[in-house]
Structure 1
Amino acid sequence: MSFKIAIIGAGSVGFTKKLFTDILCVPEFKDIEFALTDVSEHNLAMIKAILDRIVEANKLPTRVTATTNRRKALEGARYIISCVRVGGLEAYADDIRIPLKYGIDQCVGDTICAGGILYGQRNIPVILDFCKDIREVAATGAKFLNYANPMAMNTWAAIEYGKVDTVGLCHGVQHGAEQIAQVLGAKSPKELDYVCSGINHQTWFVELRLNGRPIGRDELISAFEAHPVYSKQEKLRIDVLKRFGVYSTESNGHLSEYLPWYRKRPDEIARWIDMSDWIHGETGGYLRYSTETRNWFETEYPQFLEAASKPIDPAKRSNEHASHILEALETNRVYRGHFNVKNNGVITNLPQDAIIESPGFVDRFGINMAAGITLPEACAATCMASINVQRMSVHAAIAGDIDLLKLAVLHDPLVGAVSTPEEVWQMVDEMVVAQAQWLPQYAHAVPAAKERLSKSKVKTREWAGAARRSVRSIEELRAEKAALKQAG
């Protein structure tokens, strides 16, 4: 087979390498072309050198090109994969820092909450530019695979306004299933069968079977509470399991941002989080992790390049959806996964226009969703709160409507639990002014926002959050990795 895959945001070096090696684990795909594109020539050069080294080491005919000219990369592409972060870590730092001034403590801040909503405002105009290019220069019927957050908002915009065949992809379901299999004592995650449905980062394991045997609520609660690690790391997630009766896919820290109950008072946050790793609830945890990862990669790049000389091992193919979807579409080897698509009746008690995440099967005919799923009422109610925020956020981003943007942030569950309307209005003004270079649709609103800020009497505070850690130095990271290696 010979076709072209374009990767936008290919400067996300580690993730691009994973997608690349996964796809090349499919024997029929050895002769394809990868077109890499990014706004950073520096990152493009690094990832191209790594992928070229993989191709050379494995004696493959695979072609790899790299360009900052996105349209050129998309020309004739059958598949387009996006893993962009518009504004990079600079804008992301404001997504965390500014809401903290108003008492809003986020662990990740990339899906909803104040940070995720502003992230969506930055991404959506760029996503629509991608879609325009796809319609105009990509192969007829090209499929857009979106890995970038905020998943639901980006996918919603691409489908509804970009008019491109789009699917959103995330690995939260797989990771949640691995946890459940582990606490139940399974030898392999493959022993666990499940139906998991909802919206991205609020997906629920509504049916579980271990080697064909149904697993009920009480057994699952007991298994998690007895686990020596997860009982400490996933306290909030276990509490939701007890109250809702079903387990959420999302990590302890991430889940806490989508609910109005666990992060609204600083003295309560410590009860529900665990500081053994960023993902369990640390304030700005993913920002710290992302910063350390970037610094580590820049410093240790020669080691990454050397590691690329190793042979590709198909047994180590990851469970990221992309390679499996492409394999199913091209070879008709059926793949079952969980995909972000427009609802259109798949989940009976969520809105038709919402972007849902639910099971589907892929073959030559495309992605075929399993329709007719009804979520437990509490799960549907929690999803609805986020869907309403997502819908307003998408519409605000399309129209450049700062008033609608403020209403979207006001209706966010965690923001609403912490902040007053006056604080929300000022916070959004402050975020739009700080991020104006990435928000072209709000250029007309920035002067008035600056004027309001100059006259505002709403008090703020400089606050690091309830559980903040400093970015570690390269020396500290080296010492930690050495200690882990010695212990393991």
Structure 2
Amino acid sequence: MSFKIAIIGAGSVGFTKKLFTDILCIPEFSDIEFALTDLSEHNLQMIKAILDRIVEANKLPTRVTATTDRRKALEGARYVISCVRVGGLEAYADDIRIPLKYGIDQCVGDTICAGGILYGQRNIPVILDFCKDILEVAEPGAKFLNYANPMAMNTWAAIEYGKVDTVGLCHGVQHGAEQIAEVLGAKSHSELDYVCSGINHQTWFIDLRLNGRKIGKDELVAAFEAHPVYSQQEKLRIDVLKRFGVYSTESNGHLSEYLPWYRKRPDEITRWIDMSDWIHGETGGYLRYSTETRNWFETEYPQFLEAASKPLDVSKRSNEHASHILEALETNRVYRGHFNVKNAGIITNLPQDAIIESPGFVDRFGINMASGITLPEACAATCMASINVQRMSVHAAVTGDIDLLKLAVLHDPLVGAVSTPEEVWQMVDEMVVAQARWLPQYADAVPAAKERLSKSMVKTRDWAGAARRKVRSIEELRAEKTALKQAG
């Protein structure tokens, strides 16, 4: 087989390498072309050198090109994969920093909440540019695989406004299933069968079977509470499991910021989170992790390049959906996964226009979703709160309507639990002004926002959050990795 895959945002070096090696684990795909594109020439050349080394070491005919000219990369592509972060870590820092001034403590801030909504405002105009290019220069009928957050908003915009065949992909379901299999004592993940459905980052394991035996709420609660690690790291998820009756896919830190109950009082936050790793609820945890990872990669690049010389190990193919979807579409080997698509009746008690994440099967005929799923009422209610925010956020991003943007942020569950309308209005003005260079659709609204900020009487605070950690130096990271290696 010979076809072209374009990866936008390929400067996300670690993730691009994973996608690349996963795809090359499929024997029929050795003769394809990967076209890498990114705004950063520096990052592009780093990832191209790594991928070229993999191709050379494995004596493959695979072709790798790299260009900052996106349309050139997309020309003739059958598949387009996006892993972009518009504004990079600079804009992301504002997504965390500015809401903290108004009492909003986020762990990640990339899905909803104040940070996720503004992240969507930056991404959606760019996503629509991608869609325009795909329709104009990619292979007719090209499929767009979106890995970028905010997943639901980006996918919603690409489908409703971009008019491109789009599927959103995430790995939260797989990671949640791995946890459940572990606490239940499964010898391998294949012993666990499940139906997981909802919206991205709020999907729910509504049916669990271990070797065919149905697993109920009480057994699952007992298993998690007995686990020496997860009982401490996932306190919030376990509490939601007890109250809702089903387990959420999303990590303790992620889930905490999508709900209005666990991060609204600073003195309560530390009760529900765990500081053993960023993902369990640390204030701005993913921002710190991303900053450290970038710095580490820049410093240790020669080691990453050397590691690329090793032979491909097919047994280490990851459970990221992309390679499995492409394999099913091209070879007709059926794949079952969980995909982000427009609802259109798949989940009976969520809106038709929402982007849902639910089980589907892929073969040569496309992605075929299992329909007629009904969520438990509490799960549907929680999803609905986010869907309403997502819908307003997408429409605001497309139209540049700053008043609708403010209403979207006001209706966010955590923001609404913490901030007053006056604070939300000022916070959005401040974020739009701070990020104006990445928000072209709000250009006309920025002068008035600046004027309002100059006259505002709303008080803010100088607050680092309830559980903030500083970014570690390269020396600290190296010492920690050495200690872990010696301990292991």
TM-score interval, smaller chain: over 0.9
Unaligned runs of 5+ in 2: none
SS at match of 2:347: coil
SS at match of 2:470: coil
Task: Describe the superposition over 1:255-296 as per-residue Cα deviations: whole angstroms up to 9, x where unpaired.
Answer: 000000000000000100000000000000000000000000
C-alpha distance in 1, partners of 2:416/2:479?
41
CA deviation after TM superposition for structure 1 residue 37, in Å: 0.1
SS at match of 1:464: coil
C-alpha distance in 1, partners of 2:130/2:56?
31
SS at match of 1:166: strand
C-alpha distance in 2, partners of 1:485/1:165?
45
CA deviation after TM superposition for structure 1 residue 356, in Å: 0.0
Matched, 1:461 2:461: yes
CA deviation after TM superposition for structure 1 residue 250, in Å: 0.1
CA deviation after TM superposition for structure 1 residue 7, in Å: 0.1
Task: Describe the superposition over 1:84-125 as per-residue Cα deviations: whole angstroms up to 9, x where unpaired.
Answer: 000000000000000000000000000000000000000000
Task: List aligned pairs for 1:392-411, cutoff 5 A.
Answer: 392-411=392-411
SS at match of 2:5: strand
Task: Describe the superposition over 1:405-436 as per-residue Cα deviations: whole angstroms up to 9, x where unpaired.
Answer: 00000000000000000000000000000000
Task: List aligned pairs for 1:237-316, cutoff 5 A.
Answer: 237-316=237-316
C-alpha distance in 1, partners of 2:468/2:438?
27
Task: List aligned pairs for 1:91-170, cutoff 5 A.
Answer: 91-170=91-170
C-alpha distance in 2, partners of 1:145/1:12?
15
C-alpha distance in 2, partners of 1:237/1:480?
28
Task: Describe the superposition over 1:49-93 as per-residue Cα deviations: whole angstroms up to 9, x where unpaired.
Answer: 000000000000000000000000000000000000000000000
CA deviation after TM superposition for structure 1 residue 393, in Å: 0.1
C-alpha distance in 2, partners of 1:144/1:190?
29
Q: Partner of 2:188 in structure 1?
A: 188
C-alpha distance in 1, partners of 2:416/2:188?
41
C-alpha distance in 1, partners of 2:212/2:461?
54
C-alpha distance in 2, partners of 1:285/1:104?
14
SS at match of 1:130: helix
C-alpha distance in 2, partners of 1:196/1:50?
36
C-alpha distance in 2, partners of 1:117/1:88?
15
C-alpha distance in 1, partners of 2:272/2:26?
42
Unaligned runs of 5+ in 1: none
C-alpha distance in 2, partners of 1:390/1:49?
38
Total equivalences in the alignment: 488
Task: Describe the superposition over 1:426-453 as per-residue Cα deviations: whole angstroms up to 9, x where unpaired.
Answer: 0000000000000000000000000000
CA deviation after TM superposition for structure 1 residue 352, in Å: 0.2
C-alpha distance in 2, partners of 1:341/1:311?
36
C-alpha distance in 2, partners of 1:223/1:113?
31
Task: List aligned pairs for 1:3-82, cutoff 5 A.
Answer: 3-82=3-82
Aligned residues: CA RMSD: 0.2
SS at match of 1:468: coil
C-alpha distance in 2, partners of 1:217/1:127?
40
SS at match of 1:309: coil
C-alpha distance in 2, partners of 1:336/1:83?
22
C-alpha distance in 2, partners of 1:137/1:90?
31
Task: Describe the superposition over 1:14-49 as per-residue Cα deviations: whole angstroms up to 9, x where unpaired.
Answer: 000000000000000000000000000000000000
Q: Partner of 2:483 in structure 1?
A: 483
CA deviation after TM superposition for structure 1 residue 367, in Å: 0.1
SS at match of 1:207: strand
C-alpha distance in 2, partners of 1:465/1:225?
28
C-alpha distance in 1, partners of 2:480/2:336?
38
SS at match of 1:208: strand
C-alpha distance in 1, partners of 2:486/2:58?
31
Task: List aligned pairs for 1:423-462, cutoff 5 A.
Answer: 423-462=423-462
C-alpha distance in 2, partners of 1:307/1:46?
13
C-alpha distance in 1, partners of 2:481/2:472?
12
C-alpha distance in 2, partners of 1:218/1:189?
21
SS at match of 1:149: coil
C-alpha distance in 2, partners of 1:109/1:421?
20
TM-score (normalizing by structure 1): 1.00
SS at match of 1:404: helix
C-alpha distance in 2, partners of 1:142/1:198?
27
Q: Partner of 2:383 in structure 1?
A: 383
SS at match of 1:198: strand
Q: Partner of 1:367 in structure 2?
A: 367
TM-score (normalizing by structure 2): 1.00
Task: Describe the superposition over 1:286-328 as per-residue Cα deviations: whole angstroms up to 9, x where unpaired.
Answer: 0000000000000000000000000000000000000000000
C-alpha distance in 1, partners of 2:462/2:31?
55
CA deviation after TM superposition for structure 1 residue 190, in Å: 1.0
C-alpha distance in 2, partners of 1:376/1:294?
40
CA deviation after TM superposition for structure 1 residue 155, in Å: 0.0
C-alpha distance in 2, partners of 1:462/1:329?
52
C-alpha distance in 2, partners of 1:240/1:483?
35
